[in-house]
Homo-oligomer: A and B are copies of this chain.
Amino acid sequence: MRVIFLVLMVCSAFFPFSVAEPRPLSLMPLPSNVQMKTGQLVIDPSFTVGISGASEAHLRRSAELFLDNLRRQTGMTALDMKVTDSAHARLVVRSEGSSKDVQELGEDESYSLDISSAGATLDAATPLGIMRGLQTFLQLVQTTSDGFAAPAVAIQDKPRFPWRGLMIDVSRHFIPLDVLKRNLDGMAAVKMNVFHWHLSDDQGFRVESKKFPTLQEMGSDGLFYTQAEVRELIAYARDRGIRIVPEFDMPGHSTAWFVGYPELASGPGPYQIERKWGVFDPAMDPTEERTYKFLDGFIGEMAKLFPERYFHIGGDEVNGKEWDANAKIQAFMHAHGLKSNQDLQAYFNTRVQKIVSKHGKIMVGWDEILRPDLPKDIVVQSWRGQDSLAAAAKQGYRGLLSFGYYVDLNWPALQHYAVDPMSGAAANLSPEEKRRILGGEACMWSEYVSPENIDSRLWPRTAAIAERLWSAQDVMEVNSMYERLEVVSRWLDWLGLTHNSSYGPMLRRIAGSDDISALRTFTDVVEPVKDYTREEIAAVEATSLSPLNRVIDAARPESETARRFADLVDALIAGRADSAAKQEVRACLTRWRDNQSNLQALVTQSFLLKEIVPVSQDLSAVAASGLQALDYIDRGERAPDAWATQQFALLQEAEKPKAQLLLMVAPAVQKLVETSSGQKAPAPPK
């Protein structure tokens, strides 16, 4: 019933419905074990949290943050909702152990939460487990007929993987501290526990070094975090049970370092901050001792600034061109028996690993760093896939999966959700080897994100990855995932995330008008092109100077409307659709068919609308085609072959990206045409 009700809202704003049955729990990530009980715990302004047993600062702070969130979520500003030491509180929290000075990989995050109509208890081995359990409690709180309430339930829960991360690249576009903070709130809400901060790359060096201030002075356009801000974010993350792993990419992806310190590079210089996207030639000179002396000083400084035990040195995508072109480097390689650039990079990594280790840290790097001469305590982050991860595990190395979790590629949530760190070759590892697979990280590379739209590129899809890394491997039902994802998406609004709220203002800017109904109807059914297609088909090469204010920047990575419409069409074709669902399909198609004429009226007033006219015309034509197909189906009449051939050609044309956008309702309309004509659409040309 719930599914159909949601589906029915795709296009009709005022469809009468009924919601009699109790709402299902919308927990994400799904806990290991949930037993529903009878009754519910009412949350009123006198709600209190009691800390039983040892009350340490982290525990108390967690309880206070929990109450802040609860107040926001319920709109109760109540001063009486507070943390007490008493065991008579409505929610009693008890942690067996206490917090480590610095949060560590692999700390116990399990918890058990028991809620009855009289009160609730939350038990955990550590304050981290308490934090995870408090998030579950918040997800349980609903508006009910008797007040805000959490249903009576018993939950035992623990994570599948100990490393559940999100990487944000703050180099290609600088992301201000407050934006990072709200996204850390989002991470904590879905129980992620590592923020991987990609702090330097060709396009910018983003941390203040007091030892080498020219790094940020010349390498950042003035856009960097002070050390005080770094400490502020680390404390903020710590309060939320999140470790911050810094990454300084080397020896490649390092142009921004060389603007101030050209002597570190392998080429002649001078260097400028890179404005373009891609893989570039500049690389550190691995043959000069001054390089290691500098890195020793720099890593030493950063090792103090970041208390975290793991330290990421990047190590990806060195194209070797500067090394090839440098006779002195070639001579060094020859003299040391280094046969390839890979060998040279391995030499560099070994040297850097010693420095990292000297400063008390464990090195992390991308796939390319893996060479058998490195010590076994390093961690490999794989953008190549599970097989690469399995190979590392077999050699005794620990690894993280990021292949399949690149959220900047605009994949639908189900595509990320289907990627499991333990699949492929990893599925066949021994138990010991499997334990070396620590988890994974969603990655947000920032070529096309700004403070305004980064949230909408991260959320809610990142929650699906969080579930993959927290919940049991067999939690994989896609419909359930999407249902819960939508609820979580709205819940994240309370944390100040802007993935929903920025949509309207961006569309108003594009329209140059407050009347955005036609533009919204359009943008609701398109998606940005996937993978690296945006770059590949760009009319003008994008750089870090390009505005991010087009329809492609406002459009959601995954169209909820198109997904729901496709579900409706599937139901209709399968004969599972009732008359309301059929009406809804017709209402959608009618609205889309007529939308172009509404949109056209706006086009004269905005330069940002011009590029979407062909796509809007396609939408109109596709919808008209769908309506005709529906007429044939309704009349029980077989559509003529010639008509179907014509529609397939039209649909094939409409499925080609235009304005770097994909029209997401075309495939469902194609199914309607197929059904009405009894013909299969021809395969698209390669």
A-to-B contact residues, CB < 8 Å: 9, 13-14, 16-20, 23, 45, 72-80, 142-147, 173, 221, 450-452, 486-487, 490, 493-494, 501, 504-506, 508-515, 517-518, 544-549, 553, 591, 594, 597-598, 601-602, 604-608, 610
A145 to chain B, nearest CB (A): 6
A-B contact pairs, 16 of them (CB 8 A): A9-B515, A13-B13, A14-B598, A16-B601, A18-B601, A19-B602, A72-B452, A77-B547, A77-B548, A78-B546, A80-B545, A143-B511, A143-B605, A490-B508, A493-B505, A494-B505
Take A450-B75, A511-B143 as given contacts and tell me if A604 and B545 are in contact as well, using a CB distance cutoff of 8 Å: no
A493 to chain B, nearest CB (A): 5
A476 to chain B, nearest CB (A): 24
Q: Which of B73, B142, B509 contacts A143 (CB 8 A)?
A: B509
Q: Which of B74, B147, B606 contacts A144 (CB 8 A)?
A: B606
Q: Which of B19, B45, B75, B506 contacts A513 (CB 8 A)?
A: B19
Q: Inside 8 A of A547's CB, which chain B residues have their CB?
A: 45, 74-78
User: In the bound complex, do residue A598 and residue B74 qualify as a contact, i.e. CB atoms below 8 Å apart?
Assistant: no
**Chain B: CB-nearest residue to A591:** B14
User: In the bound complex, do residue A452 and residue B80 qualify as a contact, i.e. CB atoms below 8 Å apart?
Assistant: no
Q: Inside 8 A of A486's CB, which chain B residues have their CB?
A: 514
Take A143-B511, A517-B13 as given contacts and tell me if A452 and B601 are in contact as well, using a CB distance cutoff of 8 Å: no
Q: Inside 8 A of A508's CB, which chain B residues have their CB?
A: 490, 493
Q: Inside 8 A of A23's CB, which chain B residues have their CB?
A: 605
With a 10 A CB-CB cut-off, give which of A143, A452, A511 has the most chain B CB atoms.
Answer: A143
Q: Inside 8 A of A610's CB, which chain B residues have their CB?
A: 145
**Chain B: CB-nearest residue to A273:** B79
User: In the bound complex, do residue B544 and residue A146 qualify as a contact, i.e. CB atoms below 8 Å apart?
Assistant: no
Q: Which of B78, B145, B602 contacts A606 (CB 8 A)?
A: B145
User: In the bound complex, do residue B145 and residue A607 qualify as a contact, i.e. CB atoms below 8 Å apart?
Assistant: yes
User: In the bound complex, do residue A16 and residue B607 qualify as a contact, i.e. CB atoms below 8 Å apart?
Assistant: no
Q: Inside 8 A of A45's CB, which chain B residues have their CB?
A: 545-547
Q: Inside 8 A of A548's CB, which chain B residues have their CB?
A: 75, 77
Q: Inside 8 A of A142's CB, which chain B residues have their CB?
A: 512
**Chain B: CB-nearest residue to A518:** B14
User: In the bound complex, do residue B143 and residue A510 qualify as a contact, i.e. CB atoms below 8 Å apart?
Assistant: yes
User: In the bound complex, do residue A607 and residue B501 qualify as a contact, i.e. CB atoms below 8 Å apart?
Assistant: no
User: In the bound complex, do residue B452 and residue A75 qualify as a contact, i.e. CB atoms below 8 Å apart?
Assistant: yes
User: In the bound complex, do residue A75 and residue B506 qualify as a contact, i.e. CB atoms below 8 Å apart?
Assistant: yes
A565 to chain B, nearest CB (A): 17
Q: Inside 8 A of A509's CB, which chain B residues have their CB?
A: 73-75, 143
Stoichiometry, copies per complex: 2
A21 to chain B, nearest CB (A): 10
Q: Inside 8 A of A605's CB, which chain B residues have their CB?
A: 19, 23, 143-145
**Chain B: CB-nearest residue to A173:** B77
Q: Inside 8 A of A601's CB, which chain B residues have their CB?
A: 16-19
Q: Inside 8 A of A146's CB, which chain B residues have their CB?
A: 607
Q: Inside 8 A of A591's CB, which chain B residues have their CB?
A: 14
Determine the distance from Cα of A16 to Cα of B517 in the docked complex, in whole angstroms: 11
Return the 9 tightest CB-CB contacts between A and B, nearest first. A75-B549, A143-B512, A76-B547, A501-B501, A143-B606, A77-B450, A493-B505, A13-B517, A147-B607
Determine the distance from Cα of A510 to Cα of B606 in the docked complex, in whole angstroms: 37
Determine the distance from Cα of A514 to Cα of B19 in the docked complex, in whole angstroms: 12
User: In the bound complex, do residue A608 and residue B494 qualify as a contact, i.e. CB atoms below 8 Å apart?
Assistant: no
Take A607-B145, A607-B146 as given contacts and tell me if A549 and B514 are in contact as well, using a CB distance cutoff of 8 Å: no
Q: Which of B9, B16, B77, B602 contacts A597 (CB 8 A)?
A: B16
Q: Inside 8 A of A9's CB, which chain B residues have their CB?
A: 515, 517
Known pairs A19-B601, A75-B547. 7 more at Cβ < 8 A? Answer: A20-B604, A75-B506, A77-B451, A77-B544, A143-B605, A144-B606, A490-B508
A541 to chain B, nearest CB (A): 14
**Chain B: CB-nearest residue to A221:** B79
Q: Inside 8 A of A515's CB, which chain B residues have their CB?
A: 9, 17
User: In the bound complex, do residue B19 and residue A143 qualify as a contact, i.e. CB atoms below 8 Å apart?
Assistant: no
Take A509-B74, A544-B79 as given contacts and tell me if A144 and B607 are in contact as well, using a CB distance cutoff of 8 Å: yes
Q: Inside 8 A of A608's CB, which chain B residues have their CB?
A: 143
Determine the distance from Cα of A546 to Cα of B74 in the docked complex, in whole angstroms: 12
Q: Inside 8 A of A501's CB, which chain B residues have their CB?
A: 501, 504
Determine the distance from Cα of A548 to Cα of B549 in the docked complex, in whole angstroms: 36
Q: Inside 8 A of A77's CB, which chain B residues have their CB?
A: 173, 450-451, 544, 547-548
A61 to chain B, nearest CB (A): 14
Take A146-B607, A605-B145 as given contacts and tell me if A76 and B549 are in contact as well, using a CB distance cutoff of 8 Å: yes
User: In the bound complex, do residue B79 and residue A604 qualify as a contact, i.e. CB atoms below 8 Å apart?
Assistant: no
Q: Inside 8 A of A493's CB, which chain B residues have their CB?
A: 505, 508
User: In the bound complex, do residue A607 and residue B143 qualify as a contact, i.e. CB atoms below 8 Å apart?
Assistant: yes
User: In the bound complex, do residue A549 and residue B510 qualify as a contact, i.e. CB atoms below 8 Å apart?
Assistant: no
Determine the distance from Cα of A72 to Cα of B450 in the docked complex, in whole angstroms: 10
Q: Inside 8 A of A72's CB, which chain B residues have their CB?
A: 452
User: In the bound complex, do residue A490 and residue B510 qualify as a contact, i.e. CB atoms below 8 Å apart?
Assistant: no
Q: Inside 8 A of A14's CB, which chain B residues have their CB?
A: 517-518, 591, 594, 598
Determine the distance from Cα of A615 to Cα of B50 in the docked complex, in whole angstroms: 41
**Chain B: CB-nearest residue to A520:** B13
Q: Inside 8 A of A602's CB, which chain B residues have their CB?
A: 19
Determine the distance from Cα of A511 to Cα of B77 in the docked complex, in whole angstroms: 19
**Chain B: CB-nearest residue to A79:** B221
Q: Inside 8 A of A604's CB, which chain B residues have their CB?
A: 19-20, 145
